[in-house]
Amino acid sequence: MKIVCITCPRGCTIDIEKVGSDWQVSGNSCNKGREFAINEMTKPMRTICSTVKTTFPSAPVLPCRVSADIPKDKIFDVMKEINKVVVDKPLTRGDVIIKDVLGLGVDVISTSDLLAQI
Amino acid sequence: MIRTCDVLVIGGGPAGLAAAIAADKEGAKVILIERESRLGGILKQCIHDGFGLVRFGEKLSGPEYAERFIDEFKERGIEAKTLTFVTSVERIKTGFKATIVSREGIEVIETTSLILATGCRERTSKQVFIHGTRPSGVFTAGTAQHYTNLLGQLPTKRCVILGSGDIGLIMARRLTLEGAEVLGVYEVKSTPSGLTRNIHQCLNDFDIPLHLSHTVTRVFGQDRLTAVEVAKVDEKMKPIPGTEEIIECDALILSVGLIPENEIAETLDVQIDGRTKGPRCDATLMTTVPGIFSCGNALHVNDLVDYVSESGETAGKNAAHFALGMERTLVEIKPNENILYIVPQVLDIKAKNDAVVVYFRSKDVYNKATFRIIADNKIVFEKRYAFLRPPEMEKIVADFSKFNLREYSTITAEVEVDAK
């Protein structure tokens, strides 16, 4: 099976085959590529970057992301949670917006000091 | 009142920020001019991650990457004039005189060095030949990004994307996440323009089809776009009659390329390279006009912001050094036919040149090729590549210091493709 690694802009095409209980991986340029390929076959993970609404007229949305990768099939569920939030405090970069979103063990965090600057 | 500084930086995006910080580190008095209200440039609206892998070894979002530089910029106490626009720059005996306008009125700043960090602009629908009416709903991917990520307004419910540039791919995913329907990405060329990883994580992950060798030939709608006509194209990128298809949608989003912004450079007679569309520069990133430096996407369109910052630092450091006054002797670096472009285009042979950062893009997709720099028939640098692709900029570091370069030396850069 051929997959394209999305870990970095190099975008290596990786060959992965199951041999017995082991994965045979080739075409990757680093260890992260191997890890990505195996994850992709077993439990594909992705990140989400989005925005949350705010009550501040001059900055109606605040950029956010998940603090670590989440299962690919949970993307739209997490998006629903993100779209429920309205931020009314001047959160700064790294502040938690949603703690342990959907019990996935990751937080939704702010990625900008935008609200503290206006 | 006329104010003076050593280094005037135009543009407060990643290139300008890095340039200002680097010039300040060298002890220069720096002023940075930014026309928007906040520093950070286009990164403010690039909320997706993937920035800073080369520089910080981390996957940051655009705002996070920019704010790291903004924090340092502020800690250093560098002066930034925001909501300020440069209306003209003239050459004077001691350097340059910039006229700026802001809410405080008109001001004049005299500077020894000038750094142009003005970024690039998106190609618009006027630069792509599309027939039909002129309804609203035709805009660039960057405009869609501005609406969605800064204003919090979804600009479409059902759209078609023309062009497979990275911003278009990123917006295909972003709009999908926010509930819009992206019907397809149409690319006139037979290969995608964006990074391979973006084809996978932005299109394939969301089952958004990519139609290569296709283009939009017509738009329909009076007040608002109601549909577009797409068609297959031949090898000469001409639409093939009979392959037309009408797609109902409320928006056509264009991601058809970026062009370095060099209006100020042109007024100062800075030579522009027809390949990069940015100024011709030496390895210090000084343009053909002594004292004027160029960096970031104004110099050439980069695919990674890490390289934008890097070129900003090079320009900033050297612009500060220029205050000391140094004469240059320039020799051209001539690219061969397999190279789309190379930066720098010239080398100041009087400079140290022991670690010259060279960026290049191949003209086509090549599997198994060798990149080589030759000076007076001697190999300065050589590297093998398993593949070279035009959307993926390559960066190498070459040492020219041992080659005893003279004014009459010839320097060539070549990509040699293995015989098939």
Proportion of chain B above pLDDT 70, given as a percent = 98
Phi and psi at B88, nearest 5°, equal -160, 155
Q: Do domains B1-121+257-326 and B124-256 have the same CATH topology?
A: yes
As a whole number, the mean pLDDT across chain B is 94
CA of A118, closest CA in chain B: separation in Å?
9
CA of B234, closest CA in chain A: separation in Å?
28
pLDDT in tens, B145-190: 999 999 999 999 999 999 999 999 999 999 999 999 999 999 999 9
Task: Assess whether pLDDT exceeds 60 at residue B356.
Answer: yes
Name which of B3, B37, B10, B31 is nearest B295 in CA terms: B10
pLDDT category at B325 given cuts 50, 70, 90 is low
Give burial (CB, 10 Å; 0-12/13-18/19+) of B302: buried
Contact B315, B281 (CB under 8 A): no
Contact A60 B152 (CB under 8 A): yes
Handedness of CA B147, B37, B41, B2 (dihedral sign): positive
| Chain A residue with the nearest C-alpha to that of B195 | A9
Residue ranges per domain, chain A? 2-42, 49-117
CATH architecture entry for A49-117? Roll (3.10)
Length of chain A: 118
Decide which of B146 and B350 is more confident.
Answer: B146
User: So what's the pLDDT on residue A10?
Assistant: 79
Enumerate the residues of chain B whose CB falls inside 8 A of the CB of residue A46. 201, 205
- Distances in Å between the alpha carbon of B351 and those of B55, B91, B289, B346, B401? 26, 25, 17, 12, 9
For chain B, the residues whose C-beta falls within 8 A of a C-beta of chain A are 38, 44, 47-50, 53, 59-64, 67, 148-152, 174, 177-178, 195-197, 199-201, 205, 303-304, 392
pLDDT category at B133 given cuts 50, 70, 90 is confident
Helices (H), chain A: 31-42, 75-82, 114-117
> Along the 118 residues of chain A, how does pLDDT read in single tens digits?
889 998 887 788 999 999 988 999 999 988 999 999 999 999 999 999 999 999 999 999 999 999 999 999 999 999 999 999 999 999 999 999 999 999 999 999 999 999 988 7
- Distances in Å between the alpha carbon of B371 and those of A27, A28, B387, B414? 21, 22, 11, 6
Contact A111 B64 (CB under 8 A): yes
User: So what's the pLDDT on residue B154?
Assistant: 97
Distance CA B54, CA B188 (A): 31
- Distances in Å between the alpha carbon of B333 and those of B274, B280, B282, B403? 14, 11, 9, 14
The DSSP line for B112-143 is: EEEEE---EEE--GGGS--EE---B-EEEHHH
The DSSP line for B142-211 is: HHHHHHHHTS-----SEEEEES--HHHHHHHHHHHHTT-EEEEEEESSSS-SS-HHHIIIIIGGGT--EE
> What CATH fold (topology level) applies to the domain B1-121+257-326?
FAD/NAD(P)-binding domain (3.50.50)
Contact B309, B69 (CB under 8 A): yes
Compare CB distances from A49 to B48, B200, B304 and report the shortest one's residue. Answer: B48
Task: Assess whether pLDDT exceeds 60 at residue B124.
Answer: yes
> What CATH fold (topology level) applies to the domain B124-256?
FAD/NAD(P)-binding domain (3.50.50)
CA of A90, closest CA in chain B: separation in Å?
16
Task: Assess whether pLDDT exceeds 60 at residue B420.
Answer: no
The total of other beta-carbon atoms located within 10 Å of residue B291's CB is 21
Distance CA B88, CA B327 (A): 26
For the segment B226-255, the average pLDDT, to the nearest whole number, is: 96
pLDDT in tens, B78-95: 999 999 999 999 999 989
Task: Fill in the amino acid letter for A45.
Answer: M
In the sheet where A96-98 sits, what is the strand order? A86-87, A49-54, A61-66, A108-110, A96-98
Name which of B200, B151, B202, B201 is nearest B172 in CA terms: B202
- Options 2.60.40, 1.10.3470, 1.10.760, 2.40.128; CATH for B329-420 is 2.60.40
Task: Assess whether pLDDT exceeds 90 at residue B128.
Answer: no
pLDDT category at B125 given cuts 50, 70, 90 is low
Residue ranges per domain, chain B? 1-121+257-326, 124-256, 329-420
Task: Fill in the amino acid letter for B198.
Answer: N
| Residue at token pair 């260890």 | A31
Task: Fill in the amino acid letter for B206.
Answer: F
Contact B201 A50 (CB under 8 A): no
Q: Is A67 on the interface with B (CB under 8 A)?
A: no
Q: Is cis: bond before B63, omega within 30 of 0?
A: no
Distance CA B242, CA B229 (A): 12
pLDDT category at B326 given cuts 50, 70, 90 is low
| Residue at token pair 């630069």 | B127
How much is the ipTM here? 0.94
Contact B178 A53 (CB under 8 A): no
Handedness of CA B368, B373, B378, B379 (dihedral sign): negative
Task: Fill in the amino acid letter for B83.
Answer: L
Contact B47 A111 (CB under 8 A): yes
